[in-house]
Chains A and B, each alone.
Chain A
């Protein structure tokens, strides 16, 4: 599995394996959460580290406080209707904590 030197300055809220939903927010502006995963259900792969918030940085802000960033995994056959690949195909996306909410483990 991927491993990386982490900035542990801010404790992450979500544990590895936690089921999450990406917040369905239609806000525009500079954010790093792609539209195609908004509202989607996935699973935390792991915490990456905490980084300056791009939504604030893009408009001249400090980006502080840093926001925990996670790898979130989605099952492609759940993400797309009529997905033609294998059921085991996955997508891994970097998502900031403030774009995620916890869901039941057995959604």
Chain B
């Protein structure tokens, strides 16, 4: 959703402008303004709320999970409640979940149908996440795709690709890097990248 008072690129691959979609969007927003359903101002407020959210929020949550076993347990069972404890508000639906990486299991997240993503925790998804290239390939040749992100899984590591097709949104809880026992929570958070929370990279020091 975009407000109709400035230009914006829109395409099936989210990478090139599509004038027809711009016109359609303008007309939909005008019709909404004339209805009692929703106003352009509300649409803009929602966009601004989403654009104000960044992977920094997710990184804080991951670092807290690493240092606080009780918090991690809460995040496992009720991610919105855990997020609320560190000041991140989340809607009641869809269902937000963490996928815990271990020494033996690595998760990577995709939405092959569109661009479902844990936006309240990570903000808007990166362009590549919405690309046809990523969406079609990561379910078919995930190890090759991960390698392109510089991630080579050791032999014997189980790989689970999670396709966010319906009512769930996933945040990968990456493995805490070794040798970080001395770091403060805020230092740990600064190590956590957006891509590691999608599962295409690991966290390193």
Partners in one complex: yes
Q: Which residue of B lies closest to A90 (CB)?
A: B160
Contact A94 B168 (CB under 8 A): yes
Q: Which residue of B76, B77, B143, B167 is within 8 Å of A94 (Cβ)? A: B167
Complex alpha-carbon distance, A76 and B140, angstroms: 7
Contact B78 A54 (CB under 8 A): no
Complex alpha-carbon distance, A76 and B95, angstroms: 25
A5 close to chain B: CB less than 8 A: yes
B63 close to chain A: CB less than 8 A: no
Knowing A3-B76, A84-B143 touch, does A69 contact B163 (C-beta < 8 A)?
Answer: no
Interface size class of B (residues with CB under 8 A): 20 to 34
Total inter-chain residue pairs, C-beta < 8 Å: 79
Within 8 A of A (CB), among B153-181: 155, 158-168
Q: Tally chain A residues at the interface, Cβ within 8 Å.
A: 28
Knowing A48-B95, A84-B141, A89-B143 touch, does A33 contact B165 (C-beta < 8 A)?
Answer: yes
Interface-central residue, B76, B95, B113, B165, by most chain A CB under 10 Å: B165
Contact A3 B77 (CB under 8 A): yes
Chain A residues with Cβ below 8 Å from B76 are 3
